[in-house]
Structure formats: C-alpha cells, structure tokens
Structure 1
Amino acid sequence: MKRIHFTAEDLARTRGAPTIGVAAETFDSVRMLSNRDAGLAFRGWQVSVRGRLGDRAGPLAALIPARGPLVDAMSLMGSTPSIDEAVDIWMAAPGALLRVELEHIGFRPTHRTWARGLLDGTREARLQVASALRACHRVTVAPYWSGVRSPLGEVRAGYVRAMADGGVERLLAVLGGSAARWRPPVLEVAHPRDEDVHLNGRGLVIAPTMFSTDQIELLLPPLDPSRSPTPAVGTIAWFRSGSPDLRGQSMDNRTSSYGNRTGTAFALHDWYGYGGNCWPIWNESPANLQSVNPAWDTIASSVSRGTCG
C-alpha cells in the first residue's frame, strides 16, 4: 500500500494530463510484450507485434527490470506526444538524473559494458537507446495510437467532469476504482510495497495510460523537488462486439469509466455471459461510473453490444 499525503497546497496543484507521454507508453509496450498475464485485451496486439522487433528492442529492453522499481521514462524523456521531442529530451537528460534512474537496475552480464557507458554519459550509448526507442515506437505504439487516443481522451474527460462536480477531492475519490481509496487527506493506492509519499506542496498530475495491466502506477521525479509526481491510471480495453467474460481482458470488476463512439448502444452486466443486472452505455456518452452511478463502479463482469433487456 502506498499512502500519498496531501496538504491544502497539494490539492490546489493537483491536475489531469492527457497522457504519460509517448516514451513512457513505448517503455510500457515493450514490457507488455513479455507479460503472459496481460489478458485478451492485449493478446491480439502481442501476437501481431511479437517477432517484428528482433534485436532492435535490445537497448530498451535492457532498461526494463524483471523486478524492482521501474525506470521513470517521463523523467528521462518527458511527457510529450512527439517521439522526436522525446528523443531530444533523452539526449539532453542530466547525467545525475540518468544515474539515479538506472543505478538500481541489475543489468545482465552481456549488457554491463554498454550500461557502464550509459551511466558514464557516453553519447554513443544514449544514441543506441534513442534508436531502440524509435524502432519500438514505430512497431508497438504508432500503428495503434489513433485508436488509443480517443479512449484516453474519454478517461481524461471523466477526470474533468469529476473535478467540475466536486473539485479535486471528488476526482481523488473516484480515481482508480477499487485500486485506490481517498481518506482525506491521504490517498491510499494498492501496491506491493508499503510506503508513505509526502507531496510537500507539489501536487499530483493524473494521467491515463494504455499499455499497463496495473490500475495505478505512481511515477516520482527523483531529482526535481518542484515537479509533481504522476499516477498513471490504466487499464483501457475497447470492444467492437463486447465480451461475455471480462476476466479475459483483465477487466473483471475493474471498470470505473466508459465511452461509446460506435454509433450503437452497449451494456455492462454484473455477471458473466451477459447475466445479472445491466447498465446501458449509450452512444457518445463517456462517463465516470463513480459520478453517474456509484453502485456500478468496478462491478461489471461482461459487456454486450445492444441495450439492456
């Protein structure tokens, strides 16, 4: 459990963001490729992408630890939606920041010489990572981004509505479904490590993410005391015809918001196989369930194409 402590100044500086950035999404996509528990929401993508990268992903994959804290790509490469800008930020990242982010990684023996050059700040090592970032983005993210942007935008619109309904405390109350609980002035976030996080007046930047099976990841900038931490909120799944069992998409009892841009109605069900109670999702109706019907927050087990009844 992570406990994020807010002051009045933190609440005033908490805000939403459209995305965690193209670099962080690319890092997460490479990590997702080897995740056997990603569920059906990512299965087709994994099959389509796996094998197309070859050795080009090597430098990026070397920076993704099998266990332990993750590299904060937002700190190293920014939250920009432009891959070119992300590479520029990476190439100019301070050496001290690079060492703080990478020194905890247990590099494999075959990568240690290259990693030493990276930690020492050699340009060639940074260029190898930049090349791998571009190659991975081109295969794992770019072809799918136009389809991802709309669901991400709808999630962020839900943040905006929550803040309009009851301010930032309302947003914190509905954030992350069952993975988070707002107990003023502390936001409790489900996490394998127990930790107290004090924002110290920096506030929080809340951003939706695509390539993550975790409901909430907290990204902490290690060297800039003025920069706000970012909780990346996922997962997102999208459907053309529904799903009789949301366990297949790793979304069972996890649906906290929705949007429908298909031109037809869909429906959520609180039991598998379209059974149990039903909640309609009308066309062009993005919503946060905690706002529109709290009883339906994180209880859906299937989703069908068509109205209830």
Structure 2
Amino acid sequence: MLRLHFTAEDLLRVRVATAPDPLAETVLSLPLLQTERSGRAADVALSGWRARTRRGLRPEMRILLELAPAGSGQYLPEAFTHAAASDLTDSLDHTWSLPRRQWTADWRATRLLRPRAPAWMHALHHGDRTWSDLVRRQLHAYHAMAIAPYWGQLLAAAQAERSERAVTTMDTGVEGLLGSLHPEIGWSSKTLSLPCDVDLDLRLRGQGVLLVPTFFCARPLGLIDNADPDRPFVLRYPLARSLGDSAAVVESGTAAMGEGLTALLGTTRARTLRAAQSPAGTAELARRVGTSAATASHHASVLRAAGLLTTRRDGPGVRHALTPLGAALLGGGPPHEAAPC
C-alpha cells in the first residue's frame, strides 16, 4: 500500500490532466491485450478491441508483450508511463531523456518483482542502443495499429471525465474529488492510499498531484518522478468504464465516428465544427461551410453553448476556435490554437 500524505499546499495543487498520454495508454494496453475475458463488464466491452488487435499483432511486436506482461505481480517498467505529452514521439523522447539513475532504479524494481524478466530488458535499461531503437520502433508500430484508430474517442472520454471531476470538485471540494476517484483509492485524514507492491509512506511536501484518467489502466498507478522532485506526483487511475462506455470507445472507428458526429449534430453543424479546426472569423467560417454568415453565426452560437467552440473578440470581428472537447469530438488532438479561459 502506498500512502500519500497531503499538506494544505498539496490540496491547492491537485490538477486533472487535460488528455491521456499516448505512450502510457500504449504500454498499459499490453497487459489487457494478454488477459482473457473473465466475464467482467470491462473485459467483455474490450473483447472486440482485443480480438482485432491480436489479429493485427506482427511477430516482431511480441517483444512488447515481454516488456509489459499480464498477470498480478508483474511489474510494468515505470519509465514508459511517466510522460504527459499529446504526441507519441514526444512521450518517447521524454522516456529516453530520463536520467540514468531513474532507469537503474526501474531495473532494480523489475529484477525484484520479475526475477525471470528477459535478459534483453537489462540491456534496455542500461542504455543499449540496439534494444532501445527496436523497442521504440515496435511501440510506434503497435500504437498505430492498436491505439491510434481510437484516439479521438479516448480523448472525448477523457474530456468527459475531466468535466465530471470539475463538477464533483465544485460540489464536494478537493477532498470529495480525491475520495471518489476509484474503489481501490482511499482518502482519510489528508492521506490518499492506493495499491502498491511495497508498503510505503510518501510526504508530498507541496508538490501537489496530477490526476490522469487512463483508459487502459487496470488498477491505480502512482508514479514518483525521481528525476525532478519538484514535479507533481502523477496518479493514473482507471477511467470509469461501464460496458456501454467501453464499447462506444473501442468498438467504433474513425469513419464511424464521423458518421456519428453528423447524426448527433446535423450535417451543417458538424461541417461548421470541422471548419473551425483552424480558428476563423464568422465570414471565413461561412465560406468554408458554404453557407451565409448569419447561418454560420447561429451554428457557432449553438456549438459554443455546448462547450465545443469558443468565440472571442478579434478587432472589429470575432474569432471562433475549437475547445479541447470540440477537438476530441472530431477525433483529433488539441485545437490548433489554445482556447482562452
């Protein structure tokens, strides 16, 4: 059990991540890929994704199954779950830029908790360029096949979770937020407890906590950044996945998502949302959609009320831009221009 002891300053520095990390989702999906259905709702909902991914798994990718095996007591190298970036390449760059002492500590934990870990993992953790390049290439290949087709849906699910947590915090305060994250996470007397392979007490000392809802996370995962003690403690917790929610995320592809967007918003409104992927004024938005300025302004107002667009004054006119939720609904990454608060 890991117990995190909060100060008043730590409570002020609790944040919820704006998006999942592509590398962490990629690596954390590997144990779930190897887990057989148990009849639990989450497993049933993931069965389609699991079957398709297994069919697409190439022999050279199987090295990743050794990196992140399934089963209780199997340690997953933390170096691959530390980053918080929107791009897989950036996440991998962060991982390989970790100081050598952190890779060494990760290897000690791997050797302690996985005595039969393959020898190549020793070489990987000690800087062997051949193994590093191989693992990096296969992570890119596996991500493109198993995660990228569903990334827009994962972003939308994470944005919905972030919105729910914001409401929880407004209604019950930060302590109410921390006490409702997951059944395996407990909150009492300014102490957050979560599952851990070792019994450990950690005093945060003002660094705060970054909460990261993670779709392919089977259990809560706490990460201590030994490289930068001033960074917040990262707590990945399983994104709430009912049977219907999981199926909606992993059973639909990007083409189906586009059709669903049109069915949800209507043809013109969906086209207006897509047209705002690059921020534009009302006249430009109308030109892109092929409608009148008055019609474009009306649809932009509806999308803004739904939290999908922002509109701000830009000289004599206005400028419409996607919110993170709007970008996620379109199945892309962050909007091209940060939306103002």
* TM-score past 0.5 threshold: yes
The alpha carbon displacement at 1:233 in A equals 1.8
Match of 1:201 among 197, 206, 216: 206
Identity of aligned residues (%): 26
1:183 to 2:188 alignment: yes
1:223, CA displacement in angstroms? 3.5
**1:85, CA displacement in angstroms?**
1.3
Residue 89 of structure 1: aligned partner: 94
Structure-2 residue corresponding to 1:30: 30
Matched letter for residue 154 of structure 2: V
| Match 2:177 to one of 166, 171, 176 | 171
Greater shift after overlay, 93-102 or 186-195?
186-195
The amino acid that maps onto 1:231 is L
5 Å-filtered alignment, 1:21-100, equals 21-36=21-36, 37=38, 39-65=43-69, 66=71, 67-73=73-79, 78-100=83-105
For residue 176 of structure 2, give the secondary structure of its aligned residue in structure 1. helix
Partner residue of 2:152 out of 133, 146, 153: 146
> Which structure 2 residues correspond to residues 131-280 of structure 1 after superposition, within 5 A?
131-176=137-182, 178-189=183-194, 194-214=199-219, 216-237=220-241
Q: Secondary structure at the match of 1:200?
A: coil
1:162 offset after TM fit, Å?
Answer: 2.4
Aligned partner letter, 2:127: G
2:296 alignment counterpart = none
The alpha-carbon distance between structure 1 residues 188 and 121, as it changes in their structure 2 partners (threshold 3 A), is closer
Equivalent pairs, count: 245
Question: SS of the residue aligned with 2:55?
Answer: coil
- Give the conservation status (yes or no) of the 8 Å contact 1:213–1:235: no
| Mapped contact 1:31–1:61 kept (Cα < 8 A) | yes
1:46-99 Cα deviation digits (max 9, x unpaired): 0111131222323433322553443224565x2112012123223333222222
Query: 1:204–1:231: 8 Å Cα contact kept in structure 2?
Result: yes
Greater Cα offset, 226-235 or 62-71:
62-71
Which shifted more, 232-241 or 35-44?
232-241
Cα pair 1:10 1:203 within 8 Å, conserved: yes
> In structure 2, how many angstroms separate the alpha carbons of the residues matched to 1:90 and 1:186?
29
1:305 is matched with which residue?
none
Distance 1:55 1:100, change over 3 A: farther
Cα distance in 2, alignment partners of residues 52 and 167 from structure 1: 45
Residues 20, 232 of structure 1: 8 Å contact kept:
no
The AA in structure 2 aligned to 1:47 is A
TM-score between the two structures when normalised by the length of structure 1:
0.69
Q: Match of 1:19?
A: 19
C-alpha change, 1:150 and 1:20, in structure 2 (3 Å) is: closer
- SS of match in other structure, 1:237: coil
Task: Measure how far apart 1:45 and its partner are.
Answer: 0.7
1:119 aligns with 2:136: no
CA separation of 1:160/1:235 partners in 2, compared to 1, >3 Å: closer, same or farther?
closer
When normalised by structure 2's length, the TM-score is: 0.63
Greater displacement, 8-17 / 187-196: 187-196
Kindly provide the CA deviation profile for residues 145-176 of structure 1, in whole angstroms up to 9, marking residues without a partner as x: 11221111111112222233344223113222
Asked whether the equivalents of residues 30 and 140 of structure 1 are also in contact (C-alpha less than 8 Å), the reply is: no
- RMSD (CA atoms): 3.2
Larger Rg: 2
Distance 1:179 1:238, change over 3 A: closer
SS in 2 for 1:39: helix
C-alpha separation in 1, matches of 2:135 and 2:165: 34
